[in-house]
C-alpha cells in the first residue's frame, strides 16, 4: 500500500519532468504526508483545461457515491480499470502525485520498523493516481498500488505505482481512455532505481514533520 510519503522538492525541480505552470509561491516541505490531508497533484481539471499543479484531498469518494461509501486512499492496478468505483476516473481523470519518497513498515522481532524508499539518484518520484469530484464538490484522489518490485519487496508486498519519465504525459492525457492502450504506453519506474533505509519511528505520528524523519537510523 501507500499510506505515507514525503514531498520536499521545490516546483522548479518538479518542472524538469513536466511542463508545469510554476506557482508564485512554494509550498512548505512535507516529510510526513498522511491520508485525509490536502496533497499536491498534477492533473487536467477538465478534458479541455491546461495542466495544473494543485491541492487534492487524499481520499477518493466520487460525487455519485452514497454517504457511507468507502473513501480509499489507494486503488490497485489489478482492479482500477474494471471496478465500478474506479473505472470512470481511470479512463478520464488520472493524475500524478509527486513525491520524494514513501514510507513502509517492516516487521522486525515483533515490532514495525519504518523504512524510507526513494530513488537512488534522489530525483522526485511520480506516483500514478486517479481523482474525482467528491460529494462536497472538491477533488479527491487515490494513489495506485502494484505488487512490490526489487528492493521494495523486502519491506512490503505492495508499493505505489511509480512511473518512468516517458509515461508521465500519456498518463495525464484525458483523451487517452482505452485500457489496453494505456497499458501499452504507460510503464513503471525500473525497480533497480529504488533504494531504502530504516528511519525513526517518529514517523508513526503524523504530527511529526521534519527533515530528521528521513535520516538513516
Indicate whether 179 pLDDT > 90. yes
| Digit-coded pLDDT (tens) for 6-32 | 999 998 899 899 988 876 567 889 999
Q: What average pLDDT does the structure give for the chain?
A: 95
Half-sphere exposure of 100 (CA within 13 A, CB side): 16
| Digit-coded pLDDT (tens) for 89-130 | 999 999 999 999 999 999 999 999 999 999 999 999 999 999
**CA–CA gap between residue 143 and residue 160 (Å, rounded):** 7
**CA–CA gap between residue 108 and residue 106 (Å, rounded):** 6
**CA–CA gap between residue 85 and residue 190 (Å, rounded):** 29
Determine whether 169 is an active site residue. no
* Per annotation, catalytic residue among 95, 104, 118, 141: 104
Distance of CA 175 to the CA centre of its chain: 21
Determine whether 71 is an active site residue. no
In 3D space, the residue among 75, 102, 100 whose CA is nearest the CA of residue 89 turns out to be 75
* Per annotation, catalytic residue among 2, 95, 118, 141: 2
Q: What is the DSSP letter of 50?
A: P
| Digit-coded pLDDT (tens) for 122-173 | 999 999 999 999 999 999 999 999 999 999 999 999 999 999 999 999 999 9
* pLDDT (0 to 100) of residue 166: 97
Total-model pTM? 0.96
Amino acid at each position: 500500500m501507500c499510506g505515507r510519503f514525503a514531498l520536499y522538492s521545490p516546483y522548479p525541480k518538479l518542472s524538469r519532468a513536466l511542463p508545469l505552470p510554476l506557482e508564485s509561491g512554494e509550498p512548505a516541505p512535507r516529510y510526513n504526508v498522511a491520508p485525509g490531508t490536502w496533497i499536491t497533484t498534477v492533473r487536467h481539471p477538465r478534458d479541455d483545461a491546461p495542466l495544473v499543479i494543485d491541492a487534492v484531498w487524499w481520499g477518493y469518494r466520487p460525487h455519485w457515491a452514497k454517504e457511507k461509501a468507502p473513501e480509499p486512499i489507494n486503488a490497485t492496478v489489478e482492479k482500477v480499470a474494471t471496478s465500478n468505483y474506479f473505472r470512470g476516473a481511470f479512463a478520464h481523470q488520472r493524475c500524478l502525485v509527486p513525491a520524494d519518497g514513501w514510507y513502509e513498515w517492516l516487521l522486525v522481532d515483533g515490532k514495525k520498523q519504518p523504512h524510507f524508499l526513494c530513488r537512488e539518484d534522489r530525483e522526485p518520484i511520480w506516483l500514478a493516481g486517479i481523482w474525482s469530484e467528491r460529494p462536497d464538490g472538491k477533488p479527491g484522489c487515490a494513489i495506485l498500488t502494484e505488487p512490490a518490485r526489487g528492493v521494495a519487496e523486502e519491506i512490503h508486498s505492495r508499493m505505489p505505482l511509480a512511473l518512468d519519465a516517458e509515461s508521465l504525459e500519456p498518463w495525464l492525457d484525458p483523451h487517452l481512455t482505452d485500457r489496453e492502450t494505456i497499458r501499452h504506453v504507460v510503464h513503471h519506474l525500473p525497480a533497480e532505481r529504488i533504494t531504502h533505509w530504516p528511519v525513526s519511528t517518529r514517523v508513526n505520528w503524523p504530527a511529526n514533520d521534519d527533515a530528521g524523519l528521513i535520516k538513516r537510523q
